[in-house]
A and B are shown apart, each in its own frame.
Chain A
Amino acid sequence: EPEVTQTPSHQVTQMGQEVILRCVPISNHLYFYWYRQILGQKVEFLVSFYNNEISEKSEIFDDQFSVERPDGSNFTLKIRSTKLEDSAMYFCASSWARGTGELFFGEGSRLTVL
């Protein structure tokens, strides 16, 4: 069964460092998303991406964040200068359509900022 894969599974970084989280969405999906979940809290929407551009983003997704689809398979989330409060589980998701179907999530990348 096709699945969304994310790397790394866990990354520890120093405050102020840049981090890139990588995702390989399901191959025939058209819409891509990043969500995050701070430990024990709800899953928060960050950004959605379609046709090589951001389609929606939340207030959390400020100038420190960027997304890119550098090739036909990868979808990356970059945090330019990490802060302590960026520590969270980051989930990538993909879907075939909007407004009609489910999102398929990866297992997540745990980011710890020291």
Chain B
Amino acid sequence: SQQGEEDPQALSIQEGENATMNCSYKTSINNLQWYRQNSGRGLVHLILIRSNEREKHSGRLRVTLDTSKKSSSLLITASRAADTASYFCATEIYSGAGSYQLTFGKGTKLSVIP
């Protein structure tokens, strides 16, 4: 199974509501990152949380990490129509000899209805 898997695959909410997306992974990680992708565009980094951190905030974003459960969540508060995008978690693992690999999940497609 995949290293990083987001849940749900799709999420539709009303503007102003909070959106929560989850990510589960299989192996020990160095850090976990969340990226956003607008339709047909590149990925934009949102936030990085290290394996020794439990929670991190950036503006309306809140990320948690539970390494015992190998899971993370991304909360977007007070959502806006402009938050409509796909959100990907990416796990960075140490693959030995100074090498790291960043692996993406399948993403959660968020639709925020005005």
Contacts and interface: CB of A to CB of B under 8 A. Distances in A.
The finding on whether chains A and B are genuine partners in a shared complex, rather than unrelated, reads yes
Interface of A: 4, 33, 35, 41-45, 48, 55-56, 91, 93, 98-108
Contact of A98 (B88, B90, B100, B103): B100
A101 B99 CA distance: 14
A74 B2 CA distance: 32
Interface of B: 2, 30-31, 33, 35, 41-45, 48, 88, 90, 92, 94-95, 98-107
Contact of A56 (B48, B95, B107): B95
A16 B98 CA distance: 36
Given A56-B95, A99-B92, A102-B48, A43 B43 contact: yes
B111 to A, nearest CB: 15
A101 B48 contact: yes
A48 B88 contact: no
Candidate in A48, A93, A98, A108 with the most chain B CB atoms within 10 angstroms? A98
